[in-house]
Chains A and B, each alone.
Chain A
Amino acid sequence: MSTATKGLPGEVLMWVLIFSELAVFGAGLAIFMALRLLDPVGFAEAQLALLPGLAGINTILLITSGFFAAMAVQSPHLARPWLAAAALLGVLFLVIKAYEFQHKAALGISFETHDFFMFYYLLTGFHAAHVVAGIGILVIVGWTKHPAHIETGAQFWHMVDLVWVLLFPVVYLL
């Protein structure tokens, strides 16, 4: 396991990216919660159109995928199968997310329907874009098989996981 600075595991640039992404998503979630104060009834009614059961399944997929990515770091000789399994669960996450978006479209729900849905699409869509990027990164680092690259790729994947465990309850359940 490489150490870039002061014992912080992995590459320092990946940590800069992780802090930046957490700040962006954190700000988005805080603004979402603040807007909810202005229209609690509208937000509650809008939330009824979501599919929290599928989002819950997606949570299990991502935390398990994160476990697989962490196993790839700890078992470099088996990194490829672990990373492939992690990426596969990422693809399943996207399949469910695509169904969710299609479900909203079928209901005629768009960005402009309500502030709730504007933030729903922004936050979950931006997160889904990170899942797409993360899958690509897992494939690339699995191809190189370099332990430091694998650790960096796994860190990006854990950031995606971390954002989801905070986003899911705020958008789908509260």
Chain B
Amino acid sequence: MSGLVRAWAGLAVLSALTTLVALSELAAPWAGALILLAAWLKARLIFLDYLALRDVSGWRSGLLFGLALFMALLFTLYGVA
């Protein structure tokens, strides 16, 4: 149960940070990169704790690798723009 509370708190903090970055005067490339990084960390938390993959090593590695590839694609498309 405490793991779920930590996951929810982590998601809430990352969402708050995303809002702060979006409202800040930070230059667009850096702001966008931080926003994507926060989204990546949030997706990891949902996989690991809400979907209970933290203790399932094989599937966890595969899914997190797939997520990392997808985020790398988004970072690339954002960076090129």
List residues of chain A with CB under 8 Å of any chain B CB.
1, 6-10, 18, 26, 29-30, 33-34, 36-37, 40, 52, 56, 59-60, 63-64, 66-67, 69-71, 73-75, 154-155, 158, 161-162, 165-166, 168-170, 173-174
Fill in one digit per residue for B17-51: 1 if any A CB lies within 8 Å of its CB, else 0: 01100100000000010011011001100110111
Contacts of A73 in B (CB 8 A): 52
Contacts of B77 in A (CB 8 A): 30, 33-34, 36-37
The 5 closest A-B pairs by CB, nearest first: A33-B77, A67-B8, A63-B11, A165-B42, A158-B50
Q: A-B pairs with CB below 8 Å: how many? A: 101
Contacts of A26 in B (CB 8 A): 70
Bound CA span A112–B24, Å: 32
Contact B50–A66 (Cβ < 8 Å): yes
From DSSP, what is the main secondary structure of chain A's interface residues?
Answer: helix
List residues of chain B with CB under 8 Å of any chain A CB.
1, 4-5, 7-8, 11-12, 15, 18-19, 22, 32, 35-36, 38-39, 42-43, 46-47, 49-53, 56, 58-59, 70, 73-74, 77-78, 80-81
Contact B74–A158 (Cβ < 8 Å): no
Bound CA span A105–B49, Å: 38
Bound CA span A64–B4, Å: 11
Contact of A74 among B4, B18, B35, B51 (CB under 8 A): B4
Contact A8–B19 (Cβ < 8 Å): no
Contact A173–B52 (Cβ < 8 Å): no
Contact of B59 among A1, A6, A34, A64 (CB under 8 A): A6
Contact B59–A155 (Cβ < 8 Å): no
Contact A63–B15 (Cβ < 8 Å): yes
Contact B50–A173 (Cβ < 8 Å): no
10 CB-based A-B contacts, threshold 8 Å: A9-B52, A9-B53, A9-B56, A64-B8, A71-B4, A74-B4, A165-B46, A169-B36, A174-B32, A174-B36
Contact B46–A174 (Cβ < 8 Å): no
Residue of B nearest to A27 (CB): B70
Bound CA span A66–B11, Å: 11
Bound CA span A18–B43, Å: 13
Best-buried of A9, A18, A70, A161 by chain B (most CB within 10 Å): A70
Contact B12–A170 (Cβ < 8 Å): no
Bound CA span A146–B58, Å: 28
